[in-house]
Structure 1
């Protein structure tokens, strides 16, 4: 619990949680949010029960409360489901460190590294669905077919994309056990027929993405196209595959078979996505995002690393363990694929040590350990610099969590704690629990809510449509600068005119991207100048006096064809008269951190 709370600290309503916030608000106030470009043409909310659940919960508590406790419940579900599955997959002595591996090792997967991770520290249906998929697999391993199918169906009702990804691995495991499960592929035939005869949403099987739509998706949603992933993404993908392949060969029991199923499922998902989306440009496969199977394959890889670390530490194979740690660090640093020879050396280690003297093995272990220390010192130097820029304030930069998040720091700490615990007698364990574990847990509880200042300020001002000194009309569409959706949606409870986050719905509906493209063209000068004004490569004096010029303001608010925003919210001291301001106060220094100013487009355009 302490590891979970310290490493999965609550980040607030951000990332994709903001989009689901909007979907819940749409359920509650369709007359306000139905005109928002994210919802006006239809989005993914119709494929999930999660927005409807949020709409009900918003009637019982405000959104920040729902998201705070919902995230905690989701994380606990994920951790419990992981343990439930590992109880069935691994023998005693290996489960615990494998479980901790799923918590403390990096969770990032997929394209655009850093965009997706399992067991996210904010509330989305992905978090719930991932826990349910693990529960389903745990039930399946125990031959509890009814509960396995039920858990998978509920998972699909919350987030069908993550559930389908899990189904690819489950089906692969079933086929590995019994080839007759291949006949399940015949179930695709009715779906293809439904698509051929134009039944939604299956008609997307035969609908090709046109060039305009494709260009927009490739610009704003590159993670959909496996061929457009970054080299760093392929690096981590290859690392997961090699770890899974080693574990599948090293553990030829139930655990090894599931590792093999993860490899096969991942290959099917990536190949299908590459052919159907990157090459053929088909609409429904693009929306299905079959590459998401990487989340489960990555979970299995991190669990396997936990098992391998514990095995090597328990067998006095610390030089080999340090080589594995170095391979992990090289992989996550993305240094020219140097982790491959390191991991191959780990793979053939038993044959290597037969050919070299014991002293040489010891010296190699020291060298590997020094390599890990070098990486940590380099990481620590960067983190201390960022901590200094945050004025050494833990509320602005959680350096303690950042150090624990170093790929093997948490693993090393927990391994040491496990072996220390085993060496203690009963009364000393009681003392350690009271003096160390309980205080660490209490600190974890206190520090778990780590929302940044701006996020927390927005969430504390929930549904304040008069925050700028007057009641913003319900029909208004507000452009809030700095890519903010929580500003108009959560604070004002009004439709957003445009934010890049709204483009996430473009893969589900072409019209969303077309409308957003028109709004981007209108706002482009304003957005570009805003980016220049907030670019920290410029001096503080330049940024202090920076503002949007009058031509960009007039273009943003011009009448004529296309919908214009009703209000602009900017953080710059503009020559134009602001009709209202909202000051964000730093709770520590009591100084003004940011001032948001609202401008009326009717005043700027003169009508």
Structure 2
């Protein structure tokens, strides 16, 4: 560990990181290419996923009485531990939901990419290596929690801003600018304490000796205990345990928050970044090696602590802290250090070629949409490591390592061919073409970026023209909103009859959480996303489970076909929606507080209102089609309706 009085910047004799050079044109070309790569890999989809939660928190801050009864807020909200909605709410009030989301997203992207460039230029001496690092971070698999979370998200959340701030803070501590790093971390902590804690730990590991770290950790634990005994939330949670009923709901509804549910697939997911960091930790420059060693030691320790203190001891505070989120730093560092790892491998022996294959395959897997489990790139990375290991050791070790490398390479090749076949067999030709052009754009844009950033190279005319072409092509792919999301983020009105029928009522809208929250500005009775607070608030977990147990009888799209999915399973997994009015009556009687049901199913035996919103509403009220059935797309006017049923007509 570095002595407190030392900087961990470039060692004496190590060349400083010079300015990229090349003038305004070169900088503009590089910036244009980075933006184009970002647009290709993270197209705009509207406010999806967690962006919905943070947007409704801003609306709740503006109109608390309107959303107070919503299940997401009724028993408490994480919003109380962050200033993010206090900053977001004025923007929403001034611009409206859609424009505010877009502005916040663009600002977040600008900060994120700026922070990434500053970090890359801090740990790489040359502009071309830094550009390659930026390319790797943008283009390679960013997922650090199987099927749940990844860095550099394409929607607005405090995580985007905390990651950006973390880049600046890590760069500052690497350059010995301790005060700047501290101020940045305080700002990040105010936005998202849970995401900031791993970065805070990493900065401490980079800055202090082990003895100082242990002293600071002991002092911090003592402060937390003192606040806990004083009854101050959330610190008081360190004295509490999650009971079995609550934990059972969390285990089913928010499985990604528990290490025990994903640790084995995560081990495979992290193979590539671990190999990359491992190579740099052994052979990199002092700064690069220190960063690689820090994340390799810290991140597993955070995961182990999260599992042991949270899931084994059932301590409520450690369950809530989710220290395993520090894996984003390992994934980010592994991808960022790819250029250094590649340069450190010998030209002879095949390890460099296998590592390059791992990089290219990982890039492709990120575009395939199956990157949650990048099997092939993990195999090539292990093959590279084995091949490198074969250059040392005795005869038997050499032979075993060579055989292992060949075996991993063969298996990885077969796996990659299988992944390519899975994409090629997609039912829609447009899906295949979209994947192909995105892979081509990333490869072309990345090559141009590295060329443009190379020192001493004349920028010329051809390269800017090619960069502009890549940017225009990427721009055509940047807006990936569905027709439904375009409606939600647009100004087209909701049917006035629906508005009147739902005003002041308790409403369950099948798959329509966004309609209620953002278009009608009213609470929702039930959706899967409203279970997001189950990990933090017992009332949310238990009440969400109670409502789900009844509503699942309707077999709506909010409920899953499989028993171990994020949403509860349907009562009849073989059916899509209710088929008879008696099912609706049964649910309305079981939930006396429920007033209105808005469903996709059109039941002629029950009086109801119908509305065609201007986009296709999938059919319901029928058996689930076979998995191998191919949807038939017929051009023309939108199909399907939302159907509104009043429980008063059914009880």
TM-score, normalised relative to structure 1: 0.85
Distance change >3 Å, CA 432–CA 424, structure 1 → 2 = farther
Following superposition, the deviation at residue 256 of structure 1 comes to 0.8
Query: What is the alpha-carbon distance in structure 2 between the residues aligned to residue 105 and residue 76 of structure 1?
Result: 19
Q: Of residues 489, 493, 499 in structure 2, which corresponds to 1:459? A: 489
Query: What is the alpha-carbon distance in structure 2 between the residues aligned to residue 316 and residue 7 of structure 1?
Result: 31
Gaps of 5+ in 1: 356-360, 535-541
Mapped pair 1:564 → 2:593: yes
Report Cα offsets for 1:162-195 as digits up to 9, x if no partner.
Answer: 111211211221235x643432121220211221
- 1:22-33 equivalences in 2 (<5 Å): 22-33=56-67
Following superposition, the deviation at residue 456 of structure 1 comes to 1.8
Following superposition, the deviation at residue 196 of structure 1 comes to 2.9
Q: Of residues 418, 425, 439 in structure 2, which corresponds to 1:385? A: 425
- 1:195-206 equivalences in 2 (<5 Å): 195-206=228-239
Query: What is the alpha-carbon distance in structure 1 between the residues aligned to residue 296 and residue 408 of structure 2?
Result: 29
Distance change >3 Å, CA 369–CA 183, structure 1 → 2 = closer
CA contact (8 A) 1:466 1:472 kept: no
Equivalent pairs counted in the alignment come to: 576
- 1:572-587 equivalences in 2 (<5 Å): 572-575=601-604, 576-585=606-615
Query: What is the alpha-carbon distance in structure 2 between the residues aligned to residue 370 and residue 238 of structure 1?
Result: 17
Q: Which residue of 1 aligns with 2:469?
A: 439
CA contact (8 A) 2:555 2:576 kept: no
Report Cα offsets for 1:358-391 as digits up to 9, x if no partner.
Answer: xxx9xx99999998776555434333433xx34x
Q: Which range moved further: 413-422 or 197-206? A: 413-422
CA contact (8 A) 1:461 1:491 kept: no
Mapped pair 1:323 → 2:389: no
Following superposition, the deviation at residue 98 of structure 1 comes to 1.3
Q: Which residue of 2 aligns with 1:589?
A: 635
CA contact (8 A) 1:244 1:304 kept: yes
Query: What is the alpha-carbon distance in structure 1 between the residues aligned to residue 342 and residue 496 of structure 2?
Result: 53
Following superposition, the deviation at residue 337 of structure 1 comes to 7.4
Distance change >3 Å, CA 156–CA 279, structure 1 → 2 = same
Query: What is the alpha-carbon distance in structure 2 between the residues aligned to residue 453 and residue 548 of structure 1?
Result: 27
CA contact (8 A) 1:132 1:155 kept: yes
Mapped pair 1:180 → 2:226: no
Following superposition, the deviation at residue 475 of structure 1 comes to 2.7
Q: Which range moved further: 411-420 or 515-524? A: 411-420
Q: Which residue of 1 aligns with 2:54?
A: 20
Report Cα offsets for 1:175-220 as digits up to 9, x if no partner.
Answer: 35x6434321212202112213422211100100011101001111
Q: Which residue of 2 aligns with 1:248?
A: 281
Q: Which residue of 1 aligns with 2:546?
A: 518
Q: Which residue of 2 aligns with 1:414?
A: 446
Q: Of residues 72, 75, 80 in structure 2, which corresponds to 1:46? A: 80
Following superposition, the deviation at residue 346 of structure 1 comes to 4.2
Query: What is the alpha-carbon distance in structure 2 between the residues aligned to residue 372 and residue 228 of structure 1?
Result: 25
Q: Which residue of 2 aligns with 1:494?
A: 522
Query: What is the alpha-carbon distance in structure 1 between the residues aligned to residue 46 and residue 203 of structure 2?
Result: 33
CA contact (8 A) 1:170 1:261 kept: no
Q: Which residue of 2 aligns with 1:537?
A: none
CA contact (8 A) 2:269 2:378 kept: no
- 1:95-106 equivalences in 2 (<5 Å): 95-106=130-141
Q: Of residues 459, 479, 485 in structure 2, which corresponds to 1:449? A: 479
CA contact (8 A) 2:557 2:576 kept: no
- 1:394-405 equivalences in 2 (<5 Å): 397=431, 399-401=433-435, 404=438
Secondary structure of 2:642's counterpart equals strand
Query: What is the alpha-carbon distance in structure 2 between the residues aligned to residue 533 and residue 468 of structure 1?
Result: 32
Query: What is the alpha-carbon distance in structure 1 between the residues aligned to residue 574 and residue 382 of structure 2?
Result: 47
Mapped pair 1:94 → 2:129: yes
Query: What is the alpha-carbon distance in structure 2 between the residues aligned to residue 517 and residue 99 of structure 1?
Result: 43
Mapped pair 1:334 → 2:375: yes
Mapped pair 1:78 → 2:106: no
Q: Which residue of 2 aligns with 1:538?
A: none
Distance change >3 Å, CA 293–CA 582, structure 1 → 2 = same
Following superposition, the deviation at residue 460 of structure 1 comes to 1.8
Mapped pair 1:169 → 2:202: yes
Distance change >3 Å, CA 582–CA 490, structure 1 → 2 = farther
Secondary structure of 1:568's counterpart equals strand
Query: What is the alpha-carbon distance in structure 1 between the residues aligned to residue 52 and residue 485 of structure 2?
Result: 11
Query: What is the alpha-carbon distance in structure 1 between the residues aligned to residue 247 and residue 409 of structure 2?
Result: 48
Q: Which residue of 2 aligns with 1:156?
A: 189
Q: Which residue of 2 aligns with 1:539?
A: none
Following superposition, the deviation at residue 449 of structure 1 comes to 1.7
Following superposition, the deviation at residue 271 of structure 1 comes to 1.5
Query: What is the alpha-carbon distance in structure 1 between the residues aligned to residue 537 and residue 575 of structure 2?
Result: 40
Distance change >3 Å, CA 547–CA 200, structure 1 → 2 = closer
- 1:139-288 equivalences in 2 (<5 Å): 139-176=172-209, 179-185=211-217, 186-229=219-262, 231-288=264-321
Query: What is the alpha-carbon distance in structure 1 between the residues aligned to residue 53 and residue 496 of structure 2?
Result: 22
CA contact (8 A) 1:169 1:262 kept: yes
Q: Which residue of 2 aligns with 1:345?
A: 386
